[in-house]
Amino acid sequence: MSDSQAKAAASNELERFQLYINGEYVAAKSGKTFLTANPYTTENWAEVPDAGTEDVDLAVEAARKAMEGPWGSMSGFQRAKLIRRLGELIDENAEYLARMEVRDSGKLYREMIFQLKYLPEWFNYFSGLADKLEGKTIPTDKNNFFVYTQRHPVGVVAAITPWNAPMMLMAMKLAPALAAGCTFVIKPSEHAPASTLAFGKLVKEAGIPDGVFNVVTGLDRQLGAHLAGHPGVGKVVFTGSTATGRAVAQAAGSQLNGVVLELGGKSPQVVFEDSDPEAVANGVIAGIFAAGGQTCMAGSRLIIHRSMVKDVVDRVVARAKTIKMGDPQADDTEMGPISNKPQFDRISEFLKSADSEGAKVVTGGVDTDKHGWFVKPTVITDVTSDMRVVKEEIFGPVLCVIPFDTEEEAIALANDTEYGLAGSVWTMNIQRAHRVASKLRTGTVWINSYRAVSPSVPFGGFGASGLGRENGVESILDFMETKSVWVELSGATRDPFRMA
Ligand code: NAD
**pTM of structure:** 0.95
Q: Alpha-carbon distance 199 to 383, whole Å?
A: 44
Does residue 396's CB lie within 6 angstroms of at least one atom of ligand 1?
Answer: no
292 & 236 share domain: no
* Distance (Å, whole) CA 234 – CA 243: 22
The mean of the pLDDT values for the chain is 96
In a domain, 454, yes or no: no
pLDDT at 12: 57
Give the pLDDT of residue 458.
Answer: 98
Report how far ligand 1's centroid is from the alpha carbon of 466 (Å).
12
In a domain, 491, yes or no: no
Residue 338 CB–ligand 1 contact under 6 Å: no
pLDDT for 1 beyond 50: no
Q: Looking at the domain assignment, is residue 252 inside a domain?
A: yes
Q: Rounded to whole angstroms, how far apart are CA atoms 458 and 174?
A: 15
Do 189 and 240 lie in a common domain? yes
In a domain, 500, yes or no: no
Residues 322 and 253 in one domain: no
CATH number at residue 39: 3.40.605.10
Q: Among 50, 101, 296, name the best residue to mutate to test ligand 1's pocket (greatest count of ligand atoms within 8 A of Cβ).
A: 296
Quote the pLDDT of residue 371: 79
Q: Please tell me if the CB atom of residue 217 comes closer than 6 angstroms to any atom of ligand 1.
A: no
C-alpha gyration radius of the chain: 24
Query: Which among 101, 219, 239, 242 is the best mutation to test ligand 1's pocket, defined by most ligand atoms within 8 Å of the CB?
Result: 239
Q: What is the pLDDT of residues 167-200, one digit of tens each?
A: 999 999 999 999 999 999 999 999 999 999 999 9
Q: Which of 15, 111, 262, 334 is catalytic?
A: 262
The verdict on whether 296 is a catalytic residue reads: yes
Give pLDDT, residue 457: 98
Range of the domain at 428: 268-447
The answer to whether residue 2 scores a pLDDT higher than 80 is no
Tell me, in angstroms, the distance from the centre of ligand 1 to residue 186's CA: 13
Tell whether 75 and 198 lie within a shared domain. yes
Protein residue closest via CA to atom 21 of ligand 1: 224
The alpha carbon dihedral of 398, 400, 401, 405 has a sign of: negative
* Domain co-membership, 43 together with 135: yes
pLDDT at 7 over 60: no
At 213-265, the pLDDT tens digits run: 999 999 999 999 999 999 999 999 999 999 999 999 999 999 999 999 999 99
Query: Quick check: CB of 202 below 6 Å from ligand 1?
Result: no
Non-local CB neighbours of 2 within 8 Å, separated by 6+ positions: none
Domain shared by 33 and 97, yes or no: yes
pLDDT of residue 11: 52
Check whether residue 16 and residue 164 sit in a common domain: yes
Tell me which of 15, 182, 190, 296 is the catalytic residue.
296
Looking at the structure of the chain, the number of domains it has is 2
If asked whether residues 357 and 467 sit together in one domain, one would say no
Residues 426, 345, single domain; the answer is yes
201 and 216 together in one domain: yes
From the CB of 244, is ligand 1 less than 6 Å away? yes
Relative to the CA of 245, which ligand 1 atom is closest? 2
Is any atom of ligand 1 closer than 6 Å to the C-beta of 227?
Answer: no
Give yes or no: residues 277 and 145 share one domain.
no
Percent of the chain residues topping a pLDDT of 70: 98
Q: Does any domain span residue 377?
A: yes
Q: Can you list the alpha helix ranges (DSSP code H) found in 42-163?
A: 53-68, 70-73, 76-92, 94-105, 109-118, 120-130
Strand residue runs (E) in 113-257: 137-138, 145-153, 156-160, 183-187, 213-215, 235-239
| Domain-located, residue 492 | no
Is the domain of 16 the same as that of 110?
yes
- For 92-133, what is each residue's pLDDT tens digit? 999 999 999 999 999 999 999 999 999 999 999 999 999 999
* Ligand 1 centroid distance, CA of 259 (Å): 14
CA 204, 209, 212, 214 torsion-angle sign: positive
Distance CA 255, CA 203 (A): 29
In a domain, 352, yes or no: yes
Tell me the pLDDT tens digit for each residue of 413-464.
Answer: 999 999 999 999 999 999 999 999 999 999 999 999 999 999 999 999 999 9
Ligand 1 centroid distance, CA of 239 (Å):
5
Please identify, by atom number, the ligand 1 atom nearest to the C-alpha of residue 189: 9
pLDDT at 210 over 70: yes
Identity of residue 46? A
Determine the atom of ligand 1 nearest the C-alpha atom of 421: 41
Tell me if 225 CB under 6 Å of ligand 1: yes
Q: 296-320 burial, b if ≥16 CB within 10 A, otherwise e?
A: bbbbbbbbbbeebbeebbebbbebb
> What would the pLDDT profile of 348-391 be if each residue is shown by its tens digit?
999 999 999 999 999 999 988 877 899 999 999 999 999 999 99
Q: Is residue 299 part of a domain?
A: yes
Distances (CA, A) of 214 to 30, 55, 113, 174, 187: 18, 10, 24, 11, 9
How does pLDDT run across 28-71, given as a tens digit for each residue? Answer: 999 999 999 999 999 999 999 999 999 999 999 999 999 999 99
The CATH number covering residue 397 comes to 3.40.309.10
